[in-house]
Structure 1
């Protein structure tokens, strides 16, 4: 991280480059691990259809309705959610540098959701559903997905936690019912919207 930061002249720039490279590598390793244990690409359930894509978009709307309703309630009774400040801080750390904004959008808006869905819903949820059934496997995957983000993020604000839980369960439900293609599209759209809002503030 620090070596790359010296090369590109920015810690945030190094961070987003590593994000763009690291997530595909981790997804590849997890996919290879899954294949060695009998979870082949056909088991990942990438069924692309108008129905699966349309319901992915419904899932995104449901996600933003839940997060929006919680944000309104939280702001009314408690105050401004802490994650709003965190988004602003992230945007400020980009410092208006166009290449960092572009790589951030590419990494967090596109690469991360595609590779996370392959790893979490394609491999892990498939394995857990095969072992414990659709409902328990989906719930375990959603909980693990939220837990991973809490560990990597070093904790989370209440709003961030609510958004992670909502997204995790919606993505797992989409995967269980309509396949990994559906959860991937939903994750892509949700992350792209969130990343675009940070990019807008940054520029």
Structure 2
């Protein structure tokens, strides 16, 4: 039996995971490059996000950003652009799934004991769907990082935005597992019993 306290804790954790997802989309740190000149100790860094690319030079002390990938990026590498944009689409779609999941949380939690006992399956399914979509988006970026020639130069690394996405997807999987375990192993609430078509009788 999945109790209300399980839903409350899970909802709090899920909201935190959703914030991580949104942060990963909004920040431009999926792939990062940093190099320091030996003679001047000046540092140049380049950060690539799902929708923009930013550069920072220590000498200029100014961050310059542009849309990414743009027409120049795609002129010679259509495959990279298509895959990178697919990753951005998947992450945006993940936020839609997370919104649907949050609504499902509220519907089940406010729907009474019967919905709490039966509704966990829907929420767990949405959590798994969210995780699959996020892992797909994260996996595309990791694949491009490992295979595309523009990241062959030493100094490129997967950034914290990529890590936030990975953590968010992992949390969704863990929550789905927690719901399944609580549904099968927690004892039922003892103030009612099911009769007939699923209606409850209070004692």
TM-score when normalising by structure 2: 0.31
Higher helix share: 1
Which of 1 and 2 has greater Rg? 2
TM-score when normalising by structure 1: 0.31
Higher strand share: 2
